Amino acid sequence: MRILHTAELYAPVLGGAQEVVRQISERLVARGHEVTVATTRVAGRAAGPIGGVQIAEFDIAGNAARGFTGEAERYERFLLEGDFDVMLNYAAQQWTADLAMGLLERLPYPALLAPCGFSGLLDPAYRDYFAALPERAARYRELILHSTTYRDAAFLREHGVANTRLIPNGADEREFGEPGDPGAFRRAHDLHGVPLLLTVGGHTGQKGHREAIDALGQMRRRAALVLVGNKPFGRGCSLSCDVRGRWVGARSLGRRRVLALDPPRAGVVEAYRAADLFVLASNIECSPIVLFEAMASGTPFVSADVGNAAEIAEWSDSGVIVPTRHGEDGRSFVESAALVDAVEALLADVERRRAMAAAGRAAWRRQFTWDVISRRYEAAYEDAIAGR
């Protein structure tokens, strides 16, 4: 197949959406398909294919609600004249999908959309956008959802859009397939003899770093917290994380340590393997890849009720969901005392953590490796081309 994926951002830019598109694209190339990714031009991207994937770059920004700037006409010609068998628009509310929506009936190949959560659904600025979306969504051959419970799935059901297919996110079996050395990370960072909590997410201010640090400060037992995250939009919340982390450490006379890191990917995988618990206190998610990576590493998780975390916990039997307040703007705020209680209860129950770890890793091996997930995308594309 000649496959076109569209995504606002792509490698070398890091992020959850970029990781999904990269994993699917590179694995389909490895199985003999031709894959092109249409995306925003960014500095530092090398010319030529990335992992065998062809890159089509455009200087465009915006979406249908805010308006577009840049090479919109060039992109539209690219879609209309492209020699592709099938297209997937990955994520709504950004230019690669919103511009394509106006061309669906003129395209010479079938198109699919992965909405990725509808993060602006509750934003008044997107009222007209979502009023028009059900009719536009119905023109896609199929919509790929990562969840049956999150707001995009609920919105589409409410508006009678039935051409949907569930394909969850996953984690890389090439990274997590072997157990590795769970002690390597602890030795490298002098974290011996202390329960280790881990959270992974960029310093955007919305990944729950403040909440995780505050929970550590309220804990009665000795523990360490590792924050793994890059700085995708400049400094972000990294300075406040540093200040808050030092305050927690000083206040507890060194019994609770916060370590903020941005290691190479191998170091991130080592951190997952070393952790006793993964903690997700994020304010907004769709289907967090970090929970699948926790499953893959055999690390139980404690999570806010954000995105489809509760569904992932049900699929895996490896997570605990804590009470969470949901704001009118769509953001979620975990209840601090409940987070502390859940973390301390699991740290105290070694047998339960061991059972959760085994269940999560087994569930991941069965159905949430990127190899399994990419084959489900491949089947969806074959069905779209065949008109099924």
Domain harbouring 227, CATH code: 3.40.50.2000
- Look at residue 303 in the predicted model and tell me its pLDDT: 98
Same domain membership, residue 150 and residue 81 = yes
334 and 188 belong to one structural domain: yes
Residues 152 and 205 in one domain: no
Q: For residue 170, what pLDDT is reported?
A: 97
Domain that holds residue 28: 2-170+369-386
What pLDDT digit, counting tens, does each position of 261-318 carry?
A: 889 999 999 999 999 999 999 999 999 999 999 999 999 999 999 999 999 999 999 9
pLDDT for 232 equals: 72
Answer yes or no: do 93 and 204 share one domain.
no
**Total domain count, the chain:** 2
The model's pTM is 0.93
Are 220 and 331 in the same domain?
yes
pLDDT by residue (tens digit) across 325-371?
Answer: 998 888 899 999 999 999 999 999 999 999 999 999 999 999 999 99
Asked if pLDDT for residue 253 goes beyond 50, the answer is no
Q: Is the same domain home to 240 and 325?
A: yes
In this predicted structure, the answer to whether residue 79 has a pLDDT above a threshold of 90 is: yes
What percent of the chain clears pLDDT 70, i.e. is strictly above it?
95
Whether residues 206 and 300 fall in one domain: yes
Q: Is the pLDDT of residue 255 over 90?
A: no
Task: Please tell me whether residues 82 and 184 are part of one structural domain.
Answer: no
- Sequence-distant (≥ 6) Cβ neighbours of residue 62 within 8 angstroms: 68, 69, 70, 95
Same structural domain for residues 255 and 157? no
100 shares its domain with 240: no
If pLDDT is split at 50, 70 and 90, which confidence band does 245 have? Answer: low
Confidence tier at 247 by pLDDT (50, 70, 90): low
The stretch 224-240 carries a mean pLDDT of 80
Identify whether residues 210 and 120 lie together within a single domain.
no
Amino acid at 201: G
Lowest model confidence (mean pLDDT) among 23-37, 156-170, 228-242: 228-242
Residue 233 confidence (pLDDT): 67
Q: Is the pLDDT of residue 250 over 60?
A: no
